[in-house]
Amino acid sequence: MRRTISLLGAFAGLLLALLVGAPSAHAAYTPQIPTTCSINPSSPSAGQAVNLGVEIVATGSTPVTGVVDVSITRGNDEIFSQTVNYNGAPINVSGPSLPAGSYQASLDFTPDDTTAFSGCSAVAGIDVAGATTGSVGGLANTGGPHLYLLVLGLALVAGGATVVTRSRVRVQQTA
């Protein structure tokens, strides 16, 4: 009787281990490497073209390649759209000249290898300033030389004048 109970207990334990603890047969899991997108628009004035810096980074050292869809919208209106290839290095996308106002730049990235990498998206605001005039609040910056160049030039002129003056005094004294 003891032997029968022991055998039944061992059989029940084996059956339970097979039913509960048996691994299921499923497809191999290959995780996607996450990617991070960033879009950095320039800050243009009204009438100037906007430049969009685009960078996609994947975790690890594997460079990611794919297609980037870049767009600029104002409200619900799409102002600009361009699709460019991304080859693992940061790129600049030249956008249109925009009038003053607030816009939104966005990008959607689709990797070439969708089984290895995940896609990503990014959004950034663009504030285009109005045209500035020099009559309000002082003169406009016209791109003149740096102050140290002006001081150096004045010092050279003063040094040259001193040399000329002393040489004339010596010539008059010897004559």
CB neighbours of residue 37 within 10 Å? 19
- Tell me which H or E stretch contains 21: helix 2-21
pTM for the whole structure: 0.57
> What does the buried/exposed string (b/e) look like for 112-141 if buried means 16 or more CB atoms within 10 Å of the residue's CB?
eeeeebebbebeeebebeeeeeeeeeeeee
The whole-number pLDDT of residue 77 equals: 92
The whole-number pLDDT of residue 70 equals: 96
pLDDT > 90? residue 175:
no
CA distance 119 to 166: 76
Q: Which three-class secondary structure state does DSSP give residue 173?
A: helix
The whole-number pLDDT of residue 45 equals: 87
Predicted confidence (pLDDT) per residue in 15-68, tens digit: 555 555 555 555 566 678 889 999 999 988 888 899 999 999 988 777 899 999
Predicted confidence (pLDDT) per residue in 107-133, tens digit: 999 999 888 889 999 999 999 987 544
Predicted confidence (pLDDT) per residue in 89-106, tens digit: 999 999 999 898 899 999
Q: Which three-class secondary structure state does DSSP give residue 87?
A: coil
